[in-house]
Every structure is written in C-alpha cells, then in structure tokens.
Chain A
Amino acid sequence: MKVKQLFNRRNLLSAAVSAGLMLGASAANAEGKLSIYHWFEYIPQELLDKFSAEYDVEVTMDTFDSNESMLASLKAGKMGSYDVSVPGDYMVEIMRNDGMLDSFESSELSNFANIEDQWLDVGFDPGRKHSIPYQWGSTSFSVNRDVFDGDIRTTSLLFDPPEELAGKINMLDSQGEVMALASIHLGIPQCSTDRGELESLFELLKAAKPKWASFNSDGAKDVLVSGDAAVGMIWNGFGAKARAEGANIEYSYPAEGYVVWMDNVVLLKDAPNRDNALKFMNFLLEPENIAAVTNFAQYTAGVKGVSDLLDAELKASPEANPPADAPAGTFVQVCDEATQVFYDKIWTALKK
C-alpha cells in the first residue's frame, strides 16, 4: 500500500527531526545579529543587504505604522527583542522619560560629527545620548487635482471639507499627528487643559469623522494612487512617492500651519546586540548610506554632506520645498499624563 509507505513511522520521524534540526541551525548562529523595529517602507532593502554584507551581520526587521503602536507593542513585552527602533521626535522624549532607551557616548560612533549642527542638541534628546537623526519632514495632506481644483492650502480640507470631498478622505492612523494638526486648524495649543478648547476640539473631530473614509497609514500612498481617496493626510515624502506612481496629486502646505517631525534611530534598552546596533547607527551616519535612504523615502536627512548625493528630481520636488509664504511647521508636543488622558479619550472615541 503506497499510502502506508508514505506515512510510515520512520518517514514521519525523520521529517520531524530534520525540521527540528533546521530550526536549531538558524537559532545557533545568534552572534552577528541585528533586530530592527522600523517604520514600513522606510529603508531600501539594498541598504540593509549592504550593511549585512559589510559587517557580516544577519539583519531582521519588523515594521510598525505609527509611533503609538510601536510604543504599545514594545510595552507589551517586545522590549529586549529589538536593538534599534525609529521613533519620531515626541516619541523619543516619551520613551526616554519611560526609561526605554539605552545611552551611548558620542565617542562610540566614529561618524557622530557628521550630524548637522541644528539636529545635534535637540529638545527631545539633549546632547544626542540615545538617538541619531534618521530623516525629517512634514505631515500635511495631498489632494487629487482631478477631483478638486479649489484652494488646497487650508486644513479645512481635512477638518471641514466641502461636500464634494466628503467620504473621500483618508486620515493617517497616527494619534499624535492628527491631534496636533486638528489643534493647528483650531489655533489652540496642543496640550490644552482648557475645558472649552478641549470640547471644541472634540466637537470638530466628531463633526469631521463622518466625512472621512478611512484611517490608514500604511495604505496612505496606495489610496491616493488607486483613487480610493481624493484627499489623503500624508507625510511629504510618501506623498511625493504617490505622485511618482502616477497620482495627479498636489501636496499642501496649509496657511494655518502643518506638522514637522524628525524620526530618529534610537538604541533600545536591553538590546540583545548592542554592538551591532551601534555599528548600524554609525553606518547610517555615513552620508552615502543615509542619502540612499533619502532618495528612497524622499524626506530630508540630518547628516552633513548628503545634498550632493541626492537625485535631482528629489531636490526640486514640491513636497520637499515649501512655498516661500508657508508658515513654519510645528512639532508634536508631549503632554503630561493628566492632560494626555483627555486626548486619548478623544482619539478613542474618534477611532470607533
């Protein structure tokens, strides 16, 4: 009987044993590893391969789609699994305050001096003890010009949209940025404790929500390219990529203001491979390497000597060059716990 031969004990056993051995083999070479927790679509695979080959390190990478979900996942038992992560400015501050970051000496990174002066002594990480710059950019929105040809330089398109755009808006699933942009729209401070201001913020978002089609960060580019959304809250570089993929869209620098941010590579506490993490951070301070990231993600690096290595198209891109009359962008602020509770409540109510 053929089936019997197929399934006899010895075959089953050897299959199980060989599967087990292969498993053991991959677990055995634990030295030379680097475990990265990164944003989705934010680093070219070729660059990871290059690092891997140069330092003989096996790189694994998981991705997240918002600062908040990254924090939640790390707090839910993933600390000690990853070596480095890439939080935005305000999240670096939160993680630093919570003791989730390891520190290093500037002498441990031979390329430390490559950091641009303006990004050296930053508020969220004074003296750069835990982080290095990765990319910086802005958060606003892009508008499909086939659908809407009016003035796009106003945050009203997101929070108080005209009828023709209702139901065609995608928001980023990113609490910090949505709340900050809504506060900018209303002209109120970000960590307001004023009851009236918080209520008007809540009312604004409750009224806007029925006009939003979706909360989607990882699909923010795709919904614009496919035409599923006519207005999409988006990061400037991601918006540039959507345009490059054929969407007839324009990125807005609203007159009310917009969010700016800097993402940073941080050294996580209890990193299983601290040495490789530092090698990786040093690697990313090399102009040539970080320029590859910038050309891929279309944001701006915080490292000296990058501009000569950038694609001409990127240098001239409307997403990367705010119009002269655009106001300065605003960073997301970190609120204290008592205040944050209200913002969390508003966000929770909004997401349902």
Chain B
Amino acid sequence: MSAAGERIKSYPGFGLLAATCLVLLYAPLLVVMVYSFNDSPSITRWGGFSLTWYVDVFTGVEAGKFKVAAWNSITIALMATVASTLIATSAAIGMTRSGQWRGKSASFALINLPIMVPEIVTAVATLIFFSAIGFKTGYLSILLAHIVFCIPFAYLPIAARLQGVSSSYEEAAIDLYASRWQAFRFVLLPILLPGIISGALLAFIVSLDDFLITNFVKGAGVETLPTAIFGAVKQGIKPNIMAISTLMLLVSILFVTVSWWIGRIGEKADAPVSE
C-alpha cells in the first residue's frame, strides 16, 4: 500500500482514543492491584508495601471459607467444561457436517439460546425449575446450570473451526475403509483440536466468572469464589478481597496467554494441512 494510503487509513485522534480505552480498562484493575499490597488496614490510606493481605488470604480467619469456595469454583468449572465441550463438539459436527435441512436454523438458535437469554432471566427460570420439580439446590444444581450456559461458548469456536475445514478429509478416510470413529479420532479430531481447546478454555473461564446464575441456584452452605467475594464485598471492600482479586486477575492473564499460545500452535498446525 502506498504511503498516501497509509496516511488516509489513519484518523487523527484515534490513537489517543485507543490509548484512553486501555487506560479506562486497566486503571481500576491496576489500582486494586497496587492497593492489595497496602500495609494498612484502612483501605484508602497508603501505609507502605507489604504482602500481609496475601498471607491473610491463605491463613486468615476467612481462609477456610475462600479455600472451599475456590475449590468449588474450580471443580465446577472443570466438570462443566468437560461436559459442555463434549456436547458442543458433538453438536458442532452435527450442525456443520449435515448439509441443509429443515429446522437447522432453529437448532442453531437453540444451541445459542443460553447467550441470547439475559443472564438474570436464565437464573430466575432455572431457580423456578429446580424448585418446581423439587430438586434440592446445592452443588449439583450449580453444575447443571453451568453446563447449559457453557455450551454455546464452547460451541462457537469449534463450529468456526469446522466450517473452515473441508469435509473431504474425513470422507477420504471413510473411502479408505476407516470406521466413522477412526475418521473422527484420527482425522477430524486432530484438525479440530485448536477449536476444541479454545472452546474449552472459554467455557472454563465463563463458568469461573459466573456470579448471577450461581447466586440463584446455589444451595445451603455451597459457595463459589464469586458468590463468596460478593458476600464479603457487600459488607465493604477489604484489603484481603483486593488480594484475592489480584490473584484471580493473574489467573485470567495466564488463561489469555495460554489461549494465545494454543492459537499460535493451531495456526502452525494448519500449515501442513493447507499444503
């Protein structure tokens, strides 16, 4: 592209607005990060650098509560991820490898319904459902609700990947007398893997992130990290909450990094396929 073209591509002030955008996105998070190292029980006065509140997170009076909550969050997210990714992979193959048929767009809408319905409505509907059928809310009710709303998040990257890959590979495998399972396991799955992994990562983070639905369907004595943090924050923002927030922030950054790295590998893995 010519230099003139480069020049007209750029609009004055856009760079400034983009920088503003980053500042807006990061300022609150950085402030909380900095203040989590504050050596003062008063959260707004700076009393010097210290790791007190990180020690408190793991050994303080509330440590037990947060540990259990974190454990619940992680196990629910893991199981919801496995279940929703399996369901989504199967659905994605069914949708993209079946040509045109009546009700296909309805099926697409159904699979994506959980992201179209506002979260609060899903929360209310699920609570009413569990209450109406007499299902005791608890750990399992949270898990079931999470599986549902994770499905579209896992589905979209997998379906996108499938759409970009011709079905001729698995057909060739079938022509060469592979069973359908073999065609899936040895041909389709390796090609799909980057999509499945990004779908799974997305599902995992979405499950870990959820507050509203969990808060509605959780049962007696069961908390996840977001509901425990919310309960604590309602009584005021304490420094230990900032420390926990910072730790969760680091986990998120770790996840983005991993997902980028896998995306890169996915691109590299494409290379031989494309030749």
A residues touching B (Cβ–Cβ < 8 Å)? 1-4, 7, 12, 15-16, 19-20, 22-23, 35, 37, 40-41, 44-46, 60-63, 65, 76-78, 80-82, 218-219, 221-222, 225-226, 246
Residue of A nearest to B79 (CB): A19
B78 A15 Cβ-Cβ under 8 A: yes
Contacts of A222 in B (CB 8 A): 235-237
Contacts of B237 in A (CB 8 A): 222
Q: How many A-B residue pairs have CB under 8 A?
A: 79
A74 to chain B, nearest CB (A): 10
Q: A3-B265, A246-B42 are in contact. Are A219 and B78 (CB under 8 A)?
A: no
Residue of B nearest to A272 (CB): B220
9 pairs of A and B residues whose beta carbons are closest in the complex: A222-B236, A60-B221, A81-B220, A218-B234, A45-B61, A77-B131, A218-B235, A19-B75, A16-B82
Q: A22-B75, A35-B220, A222-B236 are in contact. Are A7 and B137 (CB under 8 A)?
A: no
Cα separation A235 to B6 with both chains bound (whole Å): 66
Residue of B nearest to A20 (CB): B79
Contacts of A60 in B (CB 8 A): 220-221
Helix, strand, loop or mixed for chain B's interface?
A: helix
Most buried by A among B42, B219, B236: B236
4 further interface pairs, Cβ-Cβ under 8 Å (given A45-B61, A222-B237, A246-B42): A35-B221, A40-B235, A76-B131, A81-B221
Interface string of B93-119 (1 = CB under 8 A from A): 000000000000000000000000000
Contacts of B75 in A (CB 8 A): 19, 22-23
Cα separation A16 to B65 with both chains bound (whole Å): 24
B141 to chain A, nearest CB (A): 11
B235 A62 Cβ-Cβ under 8 A: no
Cβ-defined partner of B197 (8 Å) among A3, A37, A40, A225: A3
Contacts of A16 in B (CB 8 A): 78-79, 82
B contact residues, range: 20 to 34
B269 A61 Cβ-Cβ under 8 A: no
Cα separation A82 to B127 with both chains bound (whole Å): 18
Contacts of B235 in A (CB 8 A): 40-41, 218-219, 221-222
Cα separation A46 to B194 with both chains bound (whole Å): 48
B78 A63 Cβ-Cβ under 8 A: no
B234 A65 Cβ-Cβ under 8 A: yes
Contacts of B65 in A (CB 8 A): 45
Contacts of B136 in A (CB 8 A): 77, 80-81
Residue of B nearest to A23 (CB): B75
Cα separation A225 to B194 with both chains bound (whole Å): 51
A199 to chain B, nearest CB (A): 34
Contacts of A218 in B (CB 8 A): 231, 234-235
B190 A12 Cβ-Cβ under 8 A: no
B236 A7 Cβ-Cβ under 8 A: no
A7 B196 Cβ-Cβ under 8 A: yes
Any A CB within 8 A of the CB of B62: yes
Residue of A nearest to B196 (CB): A7
Any A CB within 8 A of the CB of B255: no
